Structure 1
Amino acid sequence: MKAVVCRQLGLAHTEYADVAPPVLRPDGIRIRVHAAGVSFANLLVLEGKHQNRWEPPFTPGTEVAGVVLACGDQTSLFKPGDRVVAGVRIGGYAEEVVAPESTVFALPDAVDFDAAVQFPTIYATAYGALKWRAALAPGETLLVHGAAGGSGLAAIEIGKMLGARVIATAGDASKLEAARRHGADIAINYREEDFRDVVLRETAQRGADVIFDPVGGDTFSESLRCIAPDGRIIPMGFAGGTIPQIPANLVLVKNVTVIGIYWGYYMGWGKQLPPASVVKRVRGAFDEMLGWAAAGRLSPETFAAFPLERYRDALDAITERKVIGRVVLHPDTTI
C-alpha cells in the first residue's frame, strides 16, 4: 500500500512510498482510509517537537475516516463495509490503517469523510474541554481565540450547542466571517481592537466565564485580564510560539481555574490507560457529536483536500496560517 513515511525527523526526510499494510491485531479494526486529517500537531511530530514522540521510520497522522476492511478476533462492534471514523496514535497518512476498536466510531451516512476526520481530536477536544472539564453552562460567555482554525471553529460550535454566548477573535476579515458563519455572536479583529477591552465592554465589565485559548503567549496573559470571577481558562495549545507563565496572583484574586485537557488520555494514548467508565463515556460523546453533525447542527469546514502524494502541499497550507477549518488528505482518490 501507499503511505507517507518519515525516514528521519524533519519534513525534508519524508516520502510517499510503498509499505507493507499494518498487521491486524486481535483488538483491531482495519480501515480503508478515505480521508486523513492534517494538523499543526502532525508537523510537530515530524520535527520531533510534539509531546508524543516517535522514532523513525513512522507514518504520521492521527485522524482517519473510511470503510472497515476487516475486524480482529476480539472485536464485536463493527463489520466489513461499515463507515467509520477513528483516532489513531500514528499511521493515518496511508491507504490503510489499523485502529483499536476502542477508538473507532460508527459514522452516520449523513456525515461525509472529510467532515468526519475533524471529530477524533478537534471536535472531541472542544467537547471534552467545554462540557466535561469547564462545565460551560447555558447563558455563560465563552471567549474563543484562534477562532477560524479547526480547533477554534469546533469550540464555537460546541459552545453554541451548550447554550453559551460566544465571542471570537481572529486576525482578518475572512476569518472573522468564518467565525460568525459557525455561530459566533461577536467577532473581534485582534489586529484592530484590543480584545480585552471589547470583551469587558460586551459583558458589562464582568469578563468571559470560559476562555478557550489555542494561541498562548501574550494572548493568554491578556485573557487573564478579561476573565470573569470564578472563570475558567483552558490553554489548548501554543500556536503563538510561546508557552505562557501563569501569574498566580491573578489566579488567586479572581478565583480563576486554569484547566488542562489532553484528549489523548481519553483515547488511551497517555502513560495511564483510562478506566472502562471513561471509554464508555467517550463513545457516548462521539454518538452525541456525530448525531449533531448528522442533523446539521455541527458543520466542520474543510479548507482544502489533497491526494495523499501531495501531503507536502497540505502541510505547507498549515504553515502559511491561512487555513480556515481543516486540511485533509485523500489516500483513496476514487472517492
Structure 2
Amino acid sequence: MHAWICDNPIGPEALTWKDVPTPEPKPGEVRIAIRAASLNFPDLLIVQNKYQMKPPLPFVPGSELSGTVDAIGDGVKHLKVGDAVAAFGGMGGFATHACIDARLVMPLPPGFAFEDAAAFICTYGTTHHALIDRAQLKAGETVLVLGAAGGVGTAAIQIAKAAGARVIAAASSDEKCATCKSLGADETINYGKANIRDELKTLTGGKGPDVVYDPVGGDLAEPVFRSIAWRGRYLVIGFAQGAIPSLPLNLALLKGASVVGVFWGEFAKREPQNNAKSLAELALWYAQGKIKPVIDSKLPMPQLKAAFERMGSRQVVGKLVMTNG
C-alpha cells in the first residue's frame, strides 16, 4: 500500500508519499480499501504539531475516509468484505488502505457516493450534534452561521434549513455569500466589508439570532455575542481564525444566553448510541436530498500537498476530497 507519512510535524511540506507494508486488522478492526478521504482543519493542525492530540511518530494523517471493507478482524460481526463504508477514524485516511476500529465505521446505504461519504461524517456529525442536540434548535428560530462557506458552515446551513430554521450565513466575500444563498441561506452577511452587528440588527429587527454557530472564533466572537437574542445559544465549534476569544461573561447574564461547547468526537465516543441515531437521521436526509456535502475540489491522493496549500489559502468552499483509483 501507499501512505502519506508524517515523521516530522512541521507542516504539510514535510509529508512523504511512501510504499509501506499493508497492515492486517486487529481484533475489532476492519481494513478499508480507501476510495476517498477528505481534509478537515484538524488534519492541518495535526501535521503542524498544533492539535490537542499529538500522535506518536511516524503517523498517517487523514481523519475521514470512505471505501470498501477488504479484511475483517476477529469479533467483527456487523460488517463483511465488500461492504461500502465511511469512517471517522482520526488517523490513516491519506493512504490507499487503513485499519479502523469497526465501531467507528458507518455502513453506506445504496446510492451514497464515496466522495460525498468521505466529506460527511465529521462535518455533518458535528453540525447535527451542535444544532439538534446541544442547541435544541426549533423550527422558526434564527441561526447565524459564521464561516458559512466552509465545510462545517455549509453543513450548518443545510441542517438548520432541514430543521425548519431561518438561516443568516456570514462569510468573508461576496462569492462565498452567493454560494451560501444557493445552499438555502435566507440572508447573508459579508463580514469582510460590513459591520456584522449592524447587519444582524437590521436582519433580525433588533432581536438578534437565537443560535450562533461559530467555527471561526477570533475577533468576530464578541460582537456577535453582543448581538445574540434573549435565551440565545452560542455554539463553540472551533477556532479557524486561530485566536481563541475571551468573552465577557456579563453578556451571558444580561442576555440570559448560553455558551455551549461542541466536541463531536468526544460525544461519539461517550454516547455511541446517540451518535448512531444522529448519523442515521443524516443518512436519511441525504437520501431525501435535504443535505449534500459541498465539494470544493477532488484531487488524486498523491496531490495531498496541493490540497493542503489550497486549504491554507482560505479560498475553499465546502470540502477538499482526495481520491484513489
Q: Select which of 306, 316, 321 maps to 2:299.
A: 306
Deviation at 1:235, TM superposition (A): 1.7
The aligned residue for residue 109 of structure 1 is: 110
- Any gaps of 5 or more consecutive residues in structure 2? none
The aligned residue for residue 271 of structure 1 is: none
Deviation at 1:193, TM superposition (A): 1.7
Q: Select which of 276, 279, 295 maps to 1:283.
A: 276
The aligned residue for residue 238 of structure 2 is: 237
2:216 and 2:277 map into 1 onto residues whose CA distance is: 29
1:13 and 1:316 map into 2 onto residues whose CA distance is: 13
What SS does structure 1 have at the residue aligned with 2:277? helix
1:232 and 1:118 map into 2 onto residues whose CA distance is: 26
Is 2:140 the counterpart of 1:147?
no
What SS does structure 2 have at the residue aligned with 1:126? helix
Deviation at 1:181, TM superposition (A): 1.3
Q: TM-score, normalised by structure 1?
A: 0.94
Preserved CA contact (<8 Å) 1:137 1:164:
yes
What SS does structure 1 have at the residue aligned with 2:189? strand
The aligned residue for residue 42 of structure 2 is: 41
Letter in 1 for 2:9: L
Letter in 2 for 1:139: G
What SS does structure 2 have at the residue aligned with 1:259? strand
When the two structures are aligned, how many residues end up with a matched partner? 324
Deviation at 1:102, TM superposition (A): 1.3
Preserved CA contact (<8 Å) 1:39 1:315:
no
Letter in 1 for 2:315: K
Letter in 2 for 1:48: N
The aligned residue for residue 5 of structure 1 is: 5
The aligned residue for residue 321 of structure 2 is: 328
Q: TM-score, normalised by structure 2?
A: 0.97
What are the within-5 Å matches in structure 2 for residues 93-104 of structure 1? 93-104=94-105
What SS does structure 2 have at the residue aligned with 1:227? coil
1:191 and 1:262 map into 2 onto residues whose CA distance is: 28
Preserved CA contact (<8 Å) 2:170 2:190:
yes
What SS does structure 1 have at the residue aligned with 2:281? helix
Preserved CA contact (<8 Å) 2:24 2:99:
yes
Preserved CA contact (<8 Å) 2:37 2:119:
no
Deviation at 1:282, TM superposition (A): 1.2
Preserved CA contact (<8 Å) 2:36 2:321:
yes
2:183 and 2:135 map into 1 onto residues whose CA distance is: 21
What SS does structure 2 have at the residue aligned with 1:208? coil
The aligned residue for residue 180 of structure 1 is: 181
What SS does structure 2 have at the residue aligned with 1:168? strand
- Any gaps of 5 or more consecutive residues in structure 1? 269-273
Deviation at 1:72, TM superposition (A): 1.9
The aligned residue for residue 22 of structure 1 is: 23
What do you get for the CA RMSD once the two structures are aligned?
A: 1.1
1:34 and 1:184 map into 2 onto residues whose CA distance is: 31
What are the within-5 Å matches in structure 2 for residues 69-218 of structure 1? 69-218=70-219
Structure 1 runs of 4+ aligned residues shifted over 3 Å read none
Q: Select which of 271, 274, 285 maps to 1:292.
A: 285
What SS does structure 2 have at the residue aligned with 1:240? coil
2:268 and 2:302 map into 1 onto residues whose CA distance is: 28
What SS does structure 1 have at the residue aligned with 2:60? coil
1:227 and 1:61 map into 2 onto residues whose CA distance is: 36
2:205 and 2:8 map into 1 onto residues whose CA distance is: 53
Preserved CA contact (<8 Å) 1:182 1:299:
no
1:206-256 deviation digits (Å, cap 9, x = unpaired) = 110000011111111111111001100012111112110121111111111
Q: How high is the sequence identity, in percent, across the aligned residues?
A: 37
2:308 and 2:247 map into 1 onto residues whose CA distance is: 31
Deviation at 1:55, TM superposition (A): 2.3
